Chains A and B, each alone.
Chain A
Amino acid sequence: MNFRTFAAFVGPSVFMMLLFIAFPLLSVFKQSFYITQPIYETVEVETCTPGFLTQTCVTELKSQPVLDDEGEIVTRTEFVGLQSYRNVLEPERAWRAVTEGNWSTLSTIDFWKALRFTLTFTLITLPLVLGCGLGIALLINSAAGAIRGPVIFVSLLPFIITPVIGALSINWLFRGDGILTALLEWWLQRDIALFAQAWTIEILMMFYRVWHVAPFAAVVFYAGLQTVNQDSLESAVIDGATRWQRLKFIVIPHLMPLIIFVSMIHLMDAYRVFEEIIGFSSQAYVISLQWLTFDYLVPDQAGNRSISRASASAMLTMIGIVILLILPLRRTWRDHKGGH
């Protein structure tokens, strides 16, 4: 395929990605090195607001942005180098905490707290998703033909459900005296508050994620199981291989590309964990890297946002994901070269 044909095929797709992903990304990259801020002046202002029956008027010094002749806010953009990265990472505080061996102090610094949780979340859910997915796929595969359809259908439900609603429904089930908490309390005969400490919330969040993603893994693996070479399985049986050996030496190697595919997708998705934080309102106990970026980005009531720190934190998040993906990607490179 020559370059022009290739460009014609790929062009529209690349154009859209450039316009809506690469271009914003470049501006994020640039913003992480600059700070743009309005120029404020301090003026004395009298403000009157309603009290209950009478008005309260206060005169005080307030910072107001300077407006130019056209009524636009005058802003100043300044190159600050790595300052925003430093503000996000807080290296001095973090280093002090590390040298003193004081891990609990380290875990009160936002970025490190978020990184700790994001990595734990990603690395713990990964094997669980793969394991549950493979388990469910094997179970479905060994089930009678007539019930496979309905079982696959039910299994897919957690995967297709709108994430916002999924997190909310877990909330209803467990929050306060939610029905499942009530059940647990009845079973263990003690008062349980699942949203009152970090570790129970973390477990709930991981449980939710595995519940949500395992069906995807299961269906992919199930599709893969349909193409396992039956002859080699049969000859393995004749050779006296146990079920476990057959699984280990024939089925899993056959599924290996799919396992890597699912792992890659899951690494990417779990690393940007966000809906769980909002859905479980876990900010008090655990936060994630994407939540941190989001928090910098959302304007407070008075409309201020920390664009520069948000950009820096986004870039740091991206570096993290690239590191995580290097291993699976090397294999893709070999395949790509080998396939042609």
Chain B
Amino acid sequence: MADGEYVLEARGVMKIFGNHVALDTVDFGLRKGEVHALLGENGAGKSTLIKVLTGAYQPDGGGIYMDGAQISLDNPLHAQSFGIGTVYQEVNLLPNRSVAENLFLGHQPLRFGFVNFRKMEADARVLLANYDLQIDPASELGTHSVAVQQIVAIARAVQLSGKVLILDEPTASLDRNEVERLFEVIRGLKAKGLAIIFITHFLDQVFAISDRVTVLRNGKLIDTRPLDDLSRTDVVRLMLGKDIAFSGATDIESNAAQNEVLVEFKGYGRKRGVLPFDLTIHKGEVVGVAGLLGSGRTEVARIMFGADPADQGTVTVNGQLTAIRKTTDAIRHGFGFCPEDRKAEGILGDLSVRENIVIALQGKLGWFKALNRDEQFEIAGRFSEAMDIRAASLDMPVKLLSGGNQQKVILSRWLATDPAFLILDEPTRGIDVGAHAEIVRTINRLRDEGMAMLVISSELDEVVAYSSRIVVMRDREMVAELRGKNINPGIIVQAIANNTDEAVA
């Protein structure tokens, strides 16, 4: 690999937070005039790598090279002076200022120490013409569509930096036409020799515009390959796991179908959330949900639990037609929900382990049937023993526990309510191996005890291990339901990728 082949290169970059290795000797090379897709599930290390490349983080090992020479980046502004510009998913410009001001903020053309608005607007017009944008530079940025704002952000970044452009999920809030418009801009920049890093969760877009792809998983570099050699299935396989092809079908007998029906969703959906779906869940059955990030997995969970209520379709619980408009409706029917983002939506950080465990049960009991201290200790103690929660005391704040123990606390919180139907969104993400095994064991035990569960997970091996049935999500739509012998990672990967030109494995 000759020096100078890459405009921007990371060699053996390490980044460690506490005892968590976020990036483990990752190599990454970006060529002039290419669009390089960076892929990986949440927590794979994409954003950490970007932050290292833009100077927001300092690497704990390895180095950053530009045109073959090592550089050190103190902060994003410093990176900008090296020609590295970034555009984030959320446009971080000033919506209440003019387009021209947003383009030139921080380096406005001056005359006698004052901003020369006329020159600034003229310059802006020239700049925008390069992007085929016919908008008035004096108009407020906020009055334009997100796509236009996104292009303005790109114009600003390119004009400031001009060598490397990092696009962090720029298409997440755009519709199809807007995406195409943005791609035109990206192709134009590529033709001018810019090196572009493109981060997205949409596989279609990766194939539409990228030349090469780098896949990260769990902080490690999996591979960097030209996209020409790859099928969609290959990419999904790279993202989700290495040994998928070898693990076999599940041995769980799907006798659950003979069990009583617990919940039945019909045409259940929510605008801008999930397209209507039908799903029947029986007692003693685990329904696994597979799909890439952003495929609508979490939305399905939230709509079922009433966190984001459905606006179409019906739900039947125990044969009774009912309505779930808010979380308390769902809880009354015996639902429980462990959210994906443990810290933001799960734990009550400053409250004790004990209070975190009893809170849902107390919520169910209401304001006036308060559990006293002894009862709280009894319940919390029972579950912390059953779930093997490692806490120095039940009175310590839950935020001091490790991620795995926090997850067990939230699981205990719902088990204390004696639920009939438990929804788990990524229950094993970001937790240590021991806690991981404990949670998988618990899921199996609860299923055998007759509880119904819906489990969302990116770990295909894991979903296969405990699910009686698997539904596959793609583009906010439930696209497949797999049972029996079809519960197999290879088939799931193909269902996710919607690969029609390849034979079913």
Please say whether chains A and B are actual partners in one complex: no
